[in-house]
Amino acid sequence: MSSVTQQVGYPESADESVAEYLKAHPDFFERNLTLLSALRLPHHTTGGAISLVERQLEVLRQRNLAMESRLKELVEVARSNDRLAGRIHALALLLMRTRSREGVIDVLDENLREGFAVDRAALVLFDSVPGLVQGHSSFVQVVHREDPALGPFKTFLQSSAPRCSRLRDAQRDFLFGPGADIQSMALVPLGPRSEFGFLAIGSRNPEHFHPGKSIDFLARLGELTACALSLH
């Protein structure tokens, strides 16, 4: 049987033979409508049998449901991005109206808490930035760039891009204090290689700031803040 099959050029498997034939003759069922209506396939949920046409309709319905669900997800992402873009724009207008670095800090602090509804945020600025007053706000820390406490942020400070991740204990203690209920964070550089410092945004949700999260809006936030600080 095997030698005969090979001689006529058909594959060894009967299933493969049928599949190849149907691919080569897509009009087969149009020419055999009686066969099409007579074919019965096992139903994967009821255990009964349905026609091939019914099975095709079922597959199409499932695909449509999946596509509809994906479309809803995309629409919600788009709406969320629109809302975030609006908040970034509003923040930019407020920062443009400030007249001092202390004003920039106050606007950023209030806007993150109320406009962006973040769980916790901390602004770390380097003492090389003139005109900063230590203790102006609990939201801001003024430190020397070589401060040993910044050791857990060493690799981040050498880059110029935001980073999302889980917090290490040393990072949590430095940014938000011992015992703070913050599980994930976004670190946002202020200027190239964190020239002015960095902004840390914390979430109680350990998966909120995951490494795969989009950083586009975080980068815009960092650029706006660095620009506002540089103008005063």
79: number of CA atoms within 13 Å, CB side?
6
For the stretch 51-83, pLDDT in tens is 666 767 877 888 898 899 999 988 988 898 899
The CATH superfamily holding the domain 100-230 is: GAF domain (3.30.450.40)
Radius of gyration of the chain (CA): 30
Q: Do residues 91 and 111 make contact, with C-beta atoms less than 8 angstroms apart?
A: yes
Q: Do residues 73 and 107 make contact, with C-beta atoms less than 8 angstroms apart?
A: no
How far is the C-alpha of 163 from the C-alpha of 82, rounded, in Å? 22
- Torsion angle defined by CA atoms of residues 30, 32, 37 and 42, in that order, rounded to the nearest 10 degrees: -100
165 pLDDT exceeds 70? Answer: yes
Task: Give the predicted TM-score (pTM) of the model.
Answer: 0.69
**Higher pLDDT, residue 32 or 121:** 121
For the stretch 105-118, pLDDT in tens is 999 999 998 888 89
Strand pairing report for 120-126 and 197-203? antiparallel
Mean pLDDT of the chain: 84
% pLDDT > 70, the chain: 82
192's tokens: 């190239």
How far is the C-alpha of 126 from the C-alpha of 42, rounded, in Å? 70
How high is the pLDDT of residue 3? 40
Q: Could you state, in order of their start, the residue ranges of all structural domains in the chain?
A: 14-97, 100-230
